[in-house]
Chains A and B, each alone.
Chain A
Amino acid sequence: MEFFRIRQDIPFMRHALAFNVISLLTFLLAVFFLFSRGLHLSVEFTGGTLIELNYAQAAADLEKVRLGLAKAGYTDVSVQNFGTSHDVLIRLPLKADQNTTKIGEAVMDVLSKEAPGATLRRVEFVGPQVGKELAENGALALLLVVIGIVVYLAFRFEWRFSVSAIIANLHDVIIILGFFAFFQWEFSLSVLAAVLAVLGYSVNESVVVFDRVRETFKKTRGLTTPQVLDHAITSTISRTIITHGSTQMMVLSMLLFGGETLYYFALALTIGICFGIYSSVLVASPLVMWLGVSREQFVKPKRQIEGANEDGAVV
C-alpha cells in the first residue's frame, strides 16, 4: 500500500504568503479569545474544593443538589454532571472565612439530608498558595522548553531554523489555548502537560523537514530556496502524515476510552497534532524562507589555514 504518489514537488512555497496570513489570523483570533474569555482554570490553579459524587440508584438531580447547597449557605457553587448522568461534580471556590479543610465532610452532611443516596468518589482541596505556584511553575516550564529548543536547534542547525520552528510551535500552543478559551473547556494540570508535550512533539516535525532542507542544500546545486523547501516538504510529507496519524490513533483511543479524566488531555493533544502538521509544514518553512536561508549557510567554504603555504601544508 502506498498513499502518496507524488510525481513532482508540490509548490507549497508559492502560496506561502497566503498560509502565513491564515496563520496570523487564527493566531490573532486565539489571542483575542484568550483575552476576552480567558481560560477556564481548574481547581488546581485557582484553589478551591472539588467534590465528585456518584448516585448509584438513579440519575442525579442537579437542581436538588444546588438547592440543598444554597440552603446550607454555599454560594458560588458550580454543580454539573461529570461523564455520566449518575456522576456529579461540585466545585466550591476558596473562601477566607470558611474552614476549608472540613468542606468535603460538611458538603456530604448537607447532601445526605437534601439529596440522599450519594457516595463520595473524590475530594480535592487546593489551598491558594499551591495554585499560584502551579501557575508560576507552568509558565517557567514553558519558558524552559522554548529556550531549550531554540538553543538546541540553533546549535544543531542554524538560528533561522530555530527561530522559525519555535514561532511555528508557539503559534500551535496559543491556538490550543485559544480553543480552550473559546469553548471554555477546563484547563487543568494534565492539559498543561499535554500542551508542553505537544510543543516538544511538533518541533519534531519541523526538525524532520529542516533536516531534509539541509540535506538538499548540501546535495543538489542550482535549486532556488523555495524549490529546496518544496522538495524537502514533499519528500517528507508521507512520513509526516503517517506518523501523526499513528500518534493520533493512540490519542483518539485515549479520547474514546480514557474517560473524563483523560478527555481534555487527549483533546489538547488532538488539536496540537492537527495544528502541528499544518504549522511545521506551512508556517515554519515560509518563515525560514523569509528569514533568508540559503545554500551558502550549509556548504562550508574551504577553510584557509593561517600560515599555510601554497600547497596547503602547514610548516
Chain B
Amino acid sequence: MNRYPLWKYVIIAFALLLGLVYTLPNFFGEAPAVQVSSAKATLKVDEKTRERVAGVLHGAGIEDSSLFLDSTGVKVRLRSAESQLQARDVLEKQFNPDPADPQYVVALNLLSNSPRWLTSLHALPMYLGLDLRGGVHFLLQVDMKGALTKRLDSIGADLRTLLRDKNVRHAGITREGERVIIRFRDGQTRNAARTVLEDNQPDLLLAEQGEGDELRLLATLKPAAIKRIQEFAVRQNMTTLSNRINELGVAEPVIAQQGADRIVVQLPGVQDTAKAKDILGRTATLEIRMVDETPGALEAAQAGQLPFGSELYVERGGLPLLVKKQVVLTGDRLTDAQPGFDNQTHEPAVHLTLDSTGARIFKDVTRDNVGKRMAIVLIEKGKGEVVTAPVIRTEIAGGRVQISGRMSTVEANDTALLLRAGSLAAPMEIIEERAIGPSLGAENIEKGFHSTLWGFAAIAAFMIVYYVLFGLVSVIALAANLLFLIALLSMLQATLTLPGIAAIALTLGMAIDANVLINERIREELRNGSTPQAAIHTGYERAFGTILDSNVTTLIAGIALLIFGSGPVRGFAVVHCLGILTSLFSAVVVSRAMINLLYGSRRKVESLAIGQIWKPGNTARA
C-alpha cells in the first residue's frame, strides 16, 4: 500500500530538477558590468553601438569577459571592479564627448554570472530589492486636483473661443473650483450656448442656474472625462520621469504606477538623493519658433556672425539650422501628442493637440507663413534641441497639428514621446523617500542568510536526532521546499527584500509542522499496535486533513497581508503565501515518495527508524 506509481516519481523528480535549474542562477553571484543605453528617446542602441563599445574597449586595452546587446542596451561583463571603473570612464569619454549634453547612459551594473545555457532557459537570479543592494526609493503623489484645474482652465479658454466663433454673447466665463461658470443675460442666448456646447464639448456636463438676467450655465467634467484626464496625467508624468532618470545613469531604474495617483521610482545604486530629487523635479519646456531662412544668414552664422534675433541649432540628423529667438508657442499650449499616420500619404506622423489659445495663434502663424519652416525646440537644463523643423504646407486651424515627412514609425513614436515628455501633466510631490547605503544592503543580505542558515541547521539537527530516518526524510523535504520556493521566486522574477528573506525563514520554520504532524501520527499508530506499513499509510492519510486545515488558515493571513500590505509587507506576504503552497507539496508528496522508496517495496518491515516509541506499560521498542 505504500507504493507510488512510476508517474508520481517521475513528476517529483521533474519538479526537483526544475527547482534545481531555476535556483542555480542565484548561486553564481554577480560580476561587475558596464551598461551603455540611450539617454534620448530618439537614439537607438543597436548592433552598431555594440561594435563601437567593443572597439572602444579594445582600443583602451580593457578585456571583457562577455559583451552583448539586449533590449535595454549594450552590456559588458568585466573581470574586476577596477576594470569596471576604467571601462566606464573610457566609454563615458567616447560616447558622451559633451558632458553637458549626454547622448548615452553609461552606468555601472552587476550582471549575473550564471552560464549561458541557464540564461537561455530563462533561469535568472532573483532581483534584489533596494534594502539588499542599496539605492533610493521615492513614492510620488500626482496632484490630480492640479491636473483637473489645469484642464478646466484650458476648457474655459476653449469655451470663450467657441462661443465667440458661434456668435453667442455671454456675460463672462470663470472657473470656480471644479466647475466652469458661464453667465448670460437672457434665456435664449443660454439655450443657444447650451446647444453649441453640447455639440462641441462632449466631455462637459451642463446644468442651468439663476433667474432673471442673472442666468448661469454650470459646466463640470463628466466622470469618464475626469478618469481619462487623470490616467493621462499619471502616464505622462511617468514618461517624463523616465526620460529624466535616464540622465542619472542608473542601470535598472523602476518606474511604476501604484494605485490611481501614485508613482514609485526606485533607483538601485544611487546614493545622491539630492541630485536625484533635483532631476525628478526639473521641468523641461517645448517651444515652437520660426526658422530664419534669410539667404546667406546660415552661412554667416556658421562663420561666427550670428544675425540679430536668431540662434544656431543643430537639427536632429546633424544639419545646422538657424532659428529665430522669438517664441511662437510654448509647450504649455500642447495638450497631447500621439504618433500616427498621415491620412493622405500614409506616412508616419505625429499628431499634436493644442488648446484653444494655442490653436488660434497657430492658425494665424501658419496662415502668414505658408511654405516656410517652423522649428519645434525642446529646452532642457537651458539647452535647446530642434526635434524637427517641418515645412508649413497650408494654414492649420482647429488646434490639430500634424508633423510628418522624413520620419520612420519609430521616429514618430519617439518624437511624440519627447513632445509629451517635455513637461509634467500635473504637479507631483514626494510623499515617501527611502535611501539605503550599499554597505547596509550587503549587511542585510548576510544577516538574512545567516538567520535562515542557522535556523535551518538547528531544525535539521533536532529532527534527525528525534525522528532518526524519518527526521532525515523530513529535513530533505524541507530542503526541497526551500528549493521550490527559491525556484518559484526566481521564475516569477520576484524582488527579494529583507522581509522576504525573513518570510523564507519563517515559512521553513512553520513548514516543518506538517512533517512533525505526520511523524507523530505514525508513532501514535505504532504505539496503538499497527504494523509498520499500516502505520505509515494511516499516519500520512490522517495527518493530511489536519495539515490542509492549518495551512489554509495561515494562507488566509498571508492573503490579507498581500491585499492590504504595501512595500516591504507585500514582499513578506508573497513569499509567505508561495511558501505555504510549496510546503504542502514537499512535506506531503516529496517526503511520502522518499518513505515509499525506503519502505514500500519491502515485503516485510520489522520496524521503522522513527526513533524510540514509548508505550505505556512497557519500554520495548516497536
A residues apposed to B, CB below 8 Å: 1-2, 5-8, 52, 54, 101-102, 104-105, 119-127, 129-130, 134, 137-138, 140-142, 144-145, 148-149, 152-153, 156, 189-190, 192-193, 196-197, 199-201, 203-205, 207-208, 211, 235-236, 238-239, 242-243, 245-254, 256-259, 261-262, 265-266, 269
Contacts and interface: CB of A to CB of B under 8 A. Distances in A.
Contacts of B14: none
Q: Which of B430, B509, B576 is the most central at the interface, judged by chain A CB atoms within 10 Å of its CB?
A: B509
Contacts of B434: 122-125
Interface in B223-282: 273-274, 277
B458 interface: yes
14 contacts: A1-B612, A121-B437, A124-B433, A127-B429, A189-B565, A207-B550, A211-B545, A246-B509, A248-B509, A250-B452, A256-B454, A257-B447, A262-B451, A265-B502
Contacts of A140: 564
A121 B465 CA distance: 43
Q: Which 10 residue pairs spanning A and B have beta carbons closest together?
A: A200-B557, A250-B509, A253-B455, A127-B431, A250-B455, A204-B550, A141-B564, A148-B556, A125-B433, A247-B509
Interface residues of B, number: 79
A192 B456 contact: no
A145 B440 CA distance: 34
Contacts of B568: 189-190, 193
Q: Which of B561, B568, B576 is the most central at the interface, judged by chain A CB atoms within 10 Å of its CB?
A: B561
A152 B273 contact: no
A251 to B, nearest CB: 6
Interface string B540-555: 0000011001111111
B68 interface: no
B404 to A, nearest CB: 42
A156 B612 CA distance: 34
Contacts of A208: 517, 546, 550
B506 interface: yes
B390 interface: no
Contacts of B614: 2, 5
B569 interface: yes
A148 B560 contact: yes
Given A242-B516, A252-B455, 20 more contacts: A2-B611, A6-B616, A54-B439, A101-B430, A121-B440, A123-B433, A129-B431, A130-B432, A190-B569, A192-B569, A197-B558, A242-B520, A247-B506, A247-B510, A249-B455, A250-B451, A250-B459, A251-B509, A253-B458, A269-B506
Contact of A254 (B455, B549, B566, B616): B455
Given A156-B549, A239-B520, A250-B459, A144 B563 contact: yes
B512 A246 contact: yes
Contacts of A125: 430, 432-434
Given A189-B569, A204-B550, A242-B520, A121 B450 contact: no
B85 interface: no
Given A1-B466, A121-B437, A250-B508, A207 B549 contact: yes
B508 to A, nearest CB: 6
B340 interface: no
B567 interface: yes
Interface string B584-618: 00000000000000000000000000011110100
Contacts of B558: 197, 200
B466 A242 contact: yes
Contact of A121 (B431, B439, B523): B439
B219 interface: no
B499 interface: yes
Contacts of B611: 1-2
A130 B137 CA distance: 14
B156 to A, nearest CB: 30
B451 A257 contact: yes
Contacts of B273: 104-105, 123
A197 B558 CA distance: 7
A101 B546 contact: no
B458 A249 contact: yes
A153 B556 CA distance: 11
A270 to B, nearest CB: 12
B463 interface: yes
A49 B323 CA distance: 48
A121 B141 CA distance: 25
B176 interface: no
Interface string B401-440: 0000000000000000000000000000111111111011
Interface string B130-156: 010000000101000000000000000
A259 B447 contact: yes
A164 to B, nearest CB: 14
A247 B451 contact: no
A174 B559 CA distance: 21
Contacts of B513: 204, 243, 246-247
Contacts of B510: 201, 204, 247
Contacts of A129: 141, 431
A285 to B, nearest CB: 16
Given A190-B569, A197-B557, A104 B435 contact: yes
B51 interface: no
Contacts of B512: 243, 246-247
B505 interface: yes
Contact of A246 (B141, B431, B516): B516
Nearest to B613: A2
B424 to A, nearest CB: 16
A148 B568 CA distance: 23
Contacts of A8: 616
Contact of B437 (A105, A122, A130, A200): A122
B560 A239 contact: no
B42 interface: no
Q: Which of A8, A54, A149, A258 is the most central at the interface, judged by chain B CB atoms within 10 Å of its CB?
A: A258
A138 B564 contact: yes
Nearest to A142: B560
Contact of B459 (A6, A156, A200, A249): A249
B459 A246 contact: yes
A253 B462 CA distance: 14
B506 A101 contact: no
A123 B270 CA distance: 13
A269 B437 CA distance: 28
Given A1-B465, A126-B432, A193-B572, A250 B456 contact: yes
B311 interface: no
B286 interface: no
Contact of A2 (B274, B454, B612): B612
B312 to A, nearest CB: 38
A226 B142 CA distance: 61
B539 to A, nearest CB: 12
B444 A261 contact: yes
B107 interface: no
A268 B103 CA distance: 52
A190 B273 CA distance: 25
Contacts of B432: 124-127, 130
B621 to A, nearest CB: 10
